[in-house]
Structure 1
Amino acid sequence: MKIAVLDINGKDTGRQAELSKDVFAIEPNNHAVYLDVKQFLANQRQGTHKAKERAEISGSTRKIKKQKGTGTARAGSIKSGVFRGGGRMFGPRPRNYGFKLNKNLKRLARRSALSIKANDKSILVLEDFSFEAPKTKNFLNVLKALEVENKKSLIVLGGTNNNVYLSSRNFKGSEVITASELSTYKIMNANKVILIESALEGIESNLSK
């Protein structure tokens, strides 16, 4: 599967990159994509929610009224959840929402996500580039040249490039990551996935195992 390599001005360089069929052209497994995205979102949850239960609030321990003869329900504590100011019944407790998925399923999910984007023609390959210094304007010019300045975009670098990364931080709709940070959620969340040419080898070697 071949795709044209563009430069930072959005022009065709005349070269083509070979995309592995085993990574970019498989039959997508939608359930694997669902599970991997679900795990990613679950891991973002802090799980620090907490409400005080009846054993944790301040209040008298005396029996608030006699057991019989009042014509109403029995009551032994003002801290009961049925009373105003009482403890929360079955309230939220701190917990970890994360769950495990095996590596093969996660690789399948990422291959499926990339195949979906490739099938939708939502993947671009860009030749390697860098900036002399972090500058937002330079990064914006690249987005404009690729016609993605008003879309959610994911730029995948072959390795760490601080100048490109720092130049991108002011754009909420654009994210710059390295090939090792690639996740199913980030792929599916982007309208356009822009792969830097040097990132292709790392992506294919990681996902072809």
Structure 2
Amino acid sequence: MKNFSRRSFLAVSVAVAAAALPVASSASPAKVPVIWDGQKMWDSFLKDGTGFSSPDGEGKPLALVAFDTQCPDCMTLQKRIKPLEKYIHVIYYPISYLNIHSEPQATTILTSLDPYKVFEQQHEHFKDPDFRGIRYDISKLPESVRSKVWTNTKIHRRVGCRAVPYGVFKTPDGKYLPFDENLTTAELAKLFGIKNYKEE
């Protein structure tokens, strides 16, 4: 049997692995950390998290999304998931992950009379030249709600999430599927089991 050097063996291994990879699609699925626990994320956010719902979600299949107001990829996910909100109920959980504006903007959203509307205003102002997103007065933000944002943040970390946005969807047969901004709207529709979705 011919002897292979360690370098030759590694080269052959990489080549074989590359040949076995599927052809890249238009988007990649969520990158799942090995420590991510989908059921724990689902149960923890529903039990101890504080979020807000997409409009008219009652009675529809449920999806949970952890996001940061300062995250451009979070804006991308919401843009892609929005056409599907007529079919599913999304609960958005703001966390403080990226910078000093994340928590007060999250608190501002949660304390508003219409959190989803303010969430959309955050998107509208995200590319403002002088400030990213909605303005806030930190002296008027209740500590009790600020603490809830930090509880969301702890849940995000403890269930093994290592990025934002990060979502989880529970299928009818009890599987917990991760998703993020890398999925297109059509791919998200497939993940959510929406059979009658047609891209507009």
Q: What TM-score do the two structures reach when normalised by structure 1?
A: 0.21
Larger Rg computed on CA atoms: 1
Bigger relative contact order, structure 1 or 2, given CA contacts below 8 A and separation 6+? 2
Q: What TM-score do the two structures reach when normalised by structure 2?
A: 0.22
